[in-house]
Amino acid sequence: MTIWTCATCAIEHTDTTDPPQVCEICSDERQYVPATGQRWTTRDELEAEGFRITVVELEPGLHAVETMPELGIGQRGLLVQTEHGNLLWEPPGFLDNAGIEAVRALGGVAVVAASHPHLTGSSIQWSHAFGRAPVYVAAADRQWIRRPDPAIRLWEDVEELLPGLAMHQFGGHFAGSSMVHWLAGAQGHGALLAGDTVGIGRDRKSVNAMRSYVNNIPLPARAIRRILDTSAPLAFERIYGAFATIDGGAKDITERSLRRYIDWVTDTVPDE
């Protein structure tokens, strides 16, 4: 039996002799199948092709755990260290022994979680490498689980993953799209680990939220209001997204740019 990984989204699938016919994640309207067609790979094949895990410190207590060269959707995983164990957020779609050892040297993994189905990568392989650490999946997104496993724990609304690390359900991009509020982040000012529950603008001075980022499907105003309302009680200075970071003033930036978003989708801006 082989653990098949979709070459486009780098999400692991159930162990089977033959690869699945389709990747449900990539054939959904929020993602895409490349013009060259659906292709599957495996961890061993990726390792033979030269993929490897790198671990780089972003700030005290936070490391990026990434696949090099870029693989699949290309997100960076984040390892948050706490006194009570570590969270691996948005696990890479690949893992190797050197990467496992580097993460072990930082205290290992107590909990695995992802913001939404696109960024679940090789969650179960990472969990199994660290004593079958629990893997949190939003109950609202359970139909997107590609590799069922006893380590999976369903959650909704708010879940304290570890003391000081609370996962909040915002919805929008996916019904279960979430962000983690890291109290100690940004030197104690608070940080959000956003996945693409909110996307970070190329200007690094704005955020946005889309049903599909790659096919440009927007969200309705009510979904944006829910993101604003859910973030309102949280203190945060910084946002670590799946691909970029807003270093400072992140809460003001979130409020300002999501209000602008609502203006644009509710016909309240003049023609230019």
User: Of 23 and 198, which has the nearer Cβ to Zn ion?
Assistant: 23
User: Partners of 88 in the beta sheet?
Assistant: 79, 112
φ, ψ (nearest 5 deg) of residue 202: -60, -20
- Distance, in Å, from the CA atom of 196 to the CA atom of 44, rounded to the nearest integer, reads 28
What is the smallest separation between the CB atom of 83 and Zn ion, expressed in angstroms?
A: 31
Residue 6 contacts Zn ion per CB under 5 A: yes
Q: Which stretch in 47-55, 115-123, 182-190, 219-227 sits in contact with Zn ion by CB under 5 A?
A: 115-123
What is the smallest separation between the CB atom of 31 and Zn ion, expressed in angstroms?
A: 7
User: Of 74 and 134, which has the nearer Cβ to Zn ion?
Assistant: 74
What is the smallest separation between the CB atom of 121 and Zn ion, expressed in angstroms?
A: 11
Q: Which stretch in 42-50, 76-84, 106-114, 192-200 sits in contact with Zn ion by CB under 5 A?
A: 192-200
**Which amino acid, one-letter code, is at 203?**
D
Residue 200 contacts Zn ion per CB under 5 A: no
Residue 90 contacts Zn ion per CB under 5 A: no
CB 260 within 8 A of CB 246: no
Residue 113 contacts Zn ion per CB under 5 A: no
What is the smallest separation between the CB atom of 145 and Zn ion, expressed in angstroms?
A: 14
Residue 26 contacts Zn ion per CB under 5 A: yes
What is the smallest separation between the CB atom of 75 and Zn ion, expressed in angstroms?
A: 9
Residues that bind Zn ion (CB under 5 A): 6, 8-9, 23, 25-26, 118, 196
